[in-house]
Amino acid sequence: MRYATNHAVRTARVYMEKYPKFLLLFITVIIAYIMFYGKTYPPLQNFLSSAGYLGTFISGIFFVYGFTAAPATVILLVLAKEQNIWIAGLIGGLGALIGDLIIFKFLRVSFAEEVSRLMHEKLISKVNKKIPNIFKKYLIPVFAGFIIASPLPDEIGVALLAINQNISMKIFTLVSYVLNTIGIYTILLIGIHI
């Protein structure tokens, strides 16, 4: 039992030293989730509602982050009754694109070394070899696209696309904008009917 505990501690230390950025990102997401989960901020919601299309743009940015997706969705539902949903969808989609580009650049540039190191880990290498190329080429991007279009946290979908070196910034920008705009239109359409 003691050997297993010592081995687990040593293994954890090795991974913390190899992947400090991933560890820091994971810790900040957990802290943000704990801070924001289930909480509403009426002053922020009131400001975004009264800011017109600027509020829609800012809500679009918040729509892509895991810990702010729920409040942003609520604000978009409220804004649906106050704005032209076609214009609001395009503007909200642009805001979501800005949020996704921040995540994409952050992961692709800041985490490039750690992602490369992670891809060479034994377990990841084994799994990667067993996954058929068709799955890697088409199904993973489709799955990432579904996540981006939904109110689920975009971080997961964007990470799947960011580590794929075959996806250029131009393609990512187009895919992100279209999928987020569709997702925001859907929320705005729901908002009109509730």
DSSP 66-135: TTTHHHHHHHHHHHTTTS-HHHHHHHHHHHHHHHHHHHHHIIIIITHHHHHHHHTSHHHHHHHHHS-HHI
User: What pLDDT score does 81 carry?
Assistant: 86
Amino acid letter, residue 134: I
- Spatial separation of the C-alpha atoms in residues 185 and 183, rounded to whole Å: 6
- Spatial separation of the C-alpha atoms in residues 49 and 164, rounded to whole Å: 37
The 8-class DSSP code of residue 194 comes to: -
Global pTM value: 0.71
- Spatial separation of the C-alpha atoms in residues 89 and 83, rounded to whole Å: 10
User: What pLDDT score does 13 carry?
Assistant: 74
User: What pLDDT score does 132 carry?
Assistant: 79
Low-confidence residues in the chain, pLDDT < 70:
1-9, 11-12, 14-16, 21-22, 24-26, 28-42, 44-45, 48, 111-112, 114-116, 118-119, 151
Q: Is 92 exposed, middle or buried (0-12, 13-18, 19+ CB in 10 A)?
A: buried
